[in-house]
Amino acid sequence: MTALAGWVSYPSSCTWTATGPGGTTTVSETLTTTATATPKPTINVTRPSSLVAGQSFTTTWSTTDTTSLTHVCTASGTGYTVNESLAVSGSRALTAQSGWVGYPSSCTWTASGAGGTSTFTETMTTVAGTSSSVTYIHTDGLGSPVARTDSTGAVISRTRYESYGYVASGVQPTIGFTGHVNDVDTGLTYMQQRYYDPVAGRFLSIDPVVTDANSGGSFNRYAYASNSPYKYVDPDGRQERAAEAFSDQYRKDFASGNVRDYDPFVVPAAVVTGAMLIGPPIAAAVIAGAPVEATVAAGGAAAKGAQVAETVAVRTTQAGDKAVRITRADGSVKDISPARVKEYVPNTHPKAPPGTLDKVKFENPLPGSKGYKREPTAEELKV
């Protein structure tokens, strides 16, 4: 049985009468009902007590049995006071101001309800934030960080490497030779699959990639980058890769149309050097909007003394893509961009102006091209 609120203030009298063969017995009792005590409000506030200038923080609050909530904050030593009414629960994000540093504040939350009033007091201090700075890391063609500059462009430090990665001078970098972690304590370079010793120019353990039975590649199981540390890098300690694909400079040069290929067996050294260093001839050509040309030898043989098979010109399209124009020894031309391929053959008409070309019509052309453009193949896109 539950005592009802309506019973409060109305005492009741009850009489129990029992009748039997021996007579009658009567018992009387008196009952009173008292009201349940109304609970007092409670306050729960979540906020860091120590703030950092410049950093945001979130205050979250909740209450129970509360009908109104006030929040009074006073910053000591300033006379600054905030007095505001808030919802009985909520949250908000603020950023600690640098002007708060040195002025601890005291905040009192007052919750009122039917059960009375409750208060919660907290104190907060604000500390100065650490100033941030930006450091730009510059890499060489192998991806090794060689210089660090600040936001003004001033050089903070430099690192110079020997050919196999030993730090010849300058600071010992954390991220070192060819972008791998440099263990300063041991002097070794962590290349993920294996540790590499830049003093010896050798790995400390054998290559997980077995020797190529056909070419003899990786025959020396400890050798680094096929003993060509300027041409190759080893991204993960297993297999050398052409260095250019892993260098920031290469990506920049490629984006600006400066390079087609760094392979010294394919492209004349002058082109490679100019592209790697962004030397005046290449840079001037790009500024003038002219494509960069490289002469490619037949069959990938060394360019010097070999028969010239084709000329390749790289340019940047108006859409920002790379386009390659390949002129073959027979005078035919293939122009490849990611969007389309166009081909030309020499005009063989006896009265044709010398050197002029006819456009090639394709069987499966791109729509709207009148037959003179087609989709590039996967191989052409690779080029």
Partner 1 sequence: MSTYSDIEITETEDLGVILHCKDVEVADGLEDFLTERCFVLFNIRPQGATVSFYFGQASSGDKVRQLYERFLVDGKR
**Whole-number Å distance between alpha carbons of 291 and 327:** 13
298-318 burial string, b = 16+ CB within 10 Å, else e? eeeeebeeeeebbebbbbbee
DSSP string, 9-20: T--EEEEEEEEE
> Which among 158, 222, 171 is positioned nearest to 193, based on CA atoms?
222
Of 245 and 352, which CB lies nearer to partner 1 in the complex structure?
A: 352
* Binding of residue 288 to partner 1 (CB under 8 A): yes
* Binding of residue 137 to partner 1 (CB under 8 A): no
* Binding of residue 320 to partner 1 (CB under 8 A): no
Could you tell me where the DSSP H helices lie in the chain?
248-255, 269-277, 280-287, 378-382
* Binding of residue 21 to partner 1 (CB under 8 A): no
What is the closest distance, in whole angstroms, from the C-beta atom of residue 311 to partner 1 in the complex?
10
* Binding of residue 344 to partner 1 (CB under 8 A): yes
* Binding of residue 325 to partner 1 (CB under 8 A): yes
* Binding of residue 318 to partner 1 (CB under 8 A): yes
**Whole-number Å distance between alpha carbons of 236 and 193:** 6
What is the closest distance, in whole angstroms, from the C-beta atom of residue 371 to partner 1 in the complex?
9
Out of 104, 268, 291, 338, name the contact with partner 1 by CB under 8 A: 291
Of 192 and 317, which CB lies nearer to partner 1 in the complex structure?
A: 317
* Binding of residue 328 to partner 1 (CB under 8 A): no
> Which among 184, 180, 185 is positioned nearest to 164, based on CA atoms?
180
* Number of residues located near partner 1, criterion CB under 8 A: 29
* Interaction residues for partner 1, span 111-130 (CB under 8 A): none
Helix (H, G, I), strand (E, B) or coil at 267: coil
Out of 122, 162, 248, 293, name the contact with partner 1 by CB under 8 A: 293
Angle formed by the axes of helices 248-255 and 269-277, to 10°? 100
What is the closest distance, in whole angstroms, from the C-beta atom of residue 347 to partner 1 in the complex?
5
Out of 216, 305, 350, 368, name the contact with partner 1 by CB under 8 A: 368
What is the closest distance, in whole angstroms, from the C-beta atom of residue 329 to partner 1 in the complex?
15
* Binding of residue 248 to partner 1 (CB under 8 A): no
* Binding of residue 34 to partner 1 (CB under 8 A): no
**Whole-number Å distance between alpha carbons of 130 and 116:** 45
What is the closest distance, in whole angstroms, from the C-beta atom of residue 250 to partner 1 in the complex?
23
> Which among 65, 167, 164 is positioned nearest to 116, based on CA atoms?
65
Out of 112, 327, 334, 341, name the contact with partner 1 by CB under 8 A: 327
Other Cβ atoms less than 10 A from the Cβ of 286: the count is 19
* Interaction residues for partner 1, span 296-315 (CB under 8 A): 313, 315
Of 51 and 326, which CB lies nearer to partner 1 in the complex structure?
A: 326
What residues contact residue 273 under an 8 Å CB cut-off, 6+ apart?
Answer: 279
* Binding of residue 336 to partner 1 (CB under 8 A): no
Of 293 and 380, which CB lies nearer to partner 1 in the complex structure?
A: 293
Helix (H, G, I), strand (E, B) or coil at 322: strand
Of 69 and 285, which CB lies nearer to partner 1 in the complex structure?
A: 285
> Do the strands 322-328 and 333-336 form a parallel or antiparallel pair, or are they unpaired?
antiparallel
Tell me the helix, strand and coil percentages in the chain, rounded to 5: 15, 40, 50
Residues that bind partner 1 (CB under 8 A): 288-291, 293, 313, 315-318, 323, 325, 327, 333, 335, 344, 347, 352-353, 355-359, 368-370, 372-373
